[in-house]
């Protein structure tokens, strides 16, 4: 992998390191590629490694008691999977599958533990990342318990990883609307209507089937407040 395209440079927990330190960290990384639809690991698996996304997209889900899939989150460039097993030593209770062809760099637990001892800043960044993830889960949980589907949709858009498009924040819906609707506890038709309503009110702008530009983030945050 080219030195200017290191997997570790995309990850928040390693961004506080110097470039030379990032190069040292990268020496411990092993490449892993998975095809679309392939399972990365499943419930009950021992996960002795932490996976850092370089490209592609994964879906993290669980199976409810009634057999229905519950989507917990999607994982994109720069995200980390398997950190819970690293921190707790517990087996996985999640199913992680590839939504598209994906490339990761993988750290064995022993190697990552050694890196944490060498670079304590990584530990602090990891805790911040977990705290941010918890905040996102709390906001979405508050939205999902609301009866207003519009609140759920707005909170979901705010928590998607984004980029800038013509100076405005933009996000890409990571799954088909049917899967997003199931995640938000609604129907694809209602999801489409809520997105259309946000677009009509000038809060967002829709581009094709999956791309969304946020025109007024303050207004979207007001909608997301249950």
Contact, 105 vs 26, CB < 8 A? yes
Q: Are 70 and 61 in contact (CB under 8 A)?
A: yes
pLDDT tens-place string over residues 155-179: 889 888 778 888 899 999 988 888 8
Instruction: Give the predicted TM-score (pTM) of the model.
Output: 0.68
3-133 folds as: Jelly Rolls (2.60.120)
Which ranges of 58-176 would DSSP assign to H, the alpha helix? 83-88, 109-118, 120-144, 149-159
How far apart are alpha carbons 92 and 94 in whole angstroms?
Answer: 5
Residue at token pair 């858009």: 157
| 84 class by beta-carbon count within 10 Å (0-12 exposed, 13-18 middle, 19+ buried) | middle
User: Residues of the chain with pLDDT > 90: what percent?
Assistant: 38
Match 């992680």 to its residue by tokens.
96
Same fold, 3-133 and 146-224: no
Residue ranges of domains in the chain: 3-133, 146-224
Residue for token pair 């899939």:
69
Quick one: what percent of the chain has pLDDT higher than 70? Answer: 91
Q: Which fold has domain 146-224?
A: Arc Repressor Mutant, subunit A (1.10.10)
Whether residue 214 is predicted with pLDDT greater than 90 in this model: the reply is yes
> pLDDT at residue 39 above 90?
yes
């Amino acid at each position: 992998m080219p030195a200017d395209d290191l997997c570790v440079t995309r990850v928040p927990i390693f961004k506080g390191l110097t470039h030379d330190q990032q190069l040292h960290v990268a020496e411990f990384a092993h490449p892993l590629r998975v095809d679309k639809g392939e399972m990365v690991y499943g419930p009950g698996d021992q996960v002795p490694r932490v996976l850092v996304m370089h490209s592609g997209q994964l879906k993290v889900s669980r199976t409810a008691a009634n057999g229905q899939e519950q989507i917990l989150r999607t994982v994109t460039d720069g995200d980390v999977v398997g950190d819970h097993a690293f921190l707790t030593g517990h087996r996985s209770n999640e199913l992680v599958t590839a939504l598209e062809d994906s490339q990761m760099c993988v750290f064995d637990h022993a190697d990552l533990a050694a890196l944490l001892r060498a670079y304590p800043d990584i530990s602090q960044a990891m805790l911040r990342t977990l705290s941010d993830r918890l905040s996102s889960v709390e906001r979405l949980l508050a939205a999902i318990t609301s009866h207003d589907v519009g609140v759920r949709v707005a909170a979901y858009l705010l928590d998607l990883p984004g980029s800038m498009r013509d100076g405005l924040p933009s996000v890409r819906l990571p799954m088909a609307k049917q899967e997003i609707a199931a995640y938000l506890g609604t129907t694809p038709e209602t999801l489409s209507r809520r997105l259309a309503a946000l677009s009509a009110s000038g809060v967002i702008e829709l581009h094709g089937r999956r791309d969304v530009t946020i025109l007024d983030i303050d207004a979207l945050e007001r909608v997301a407040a249950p």
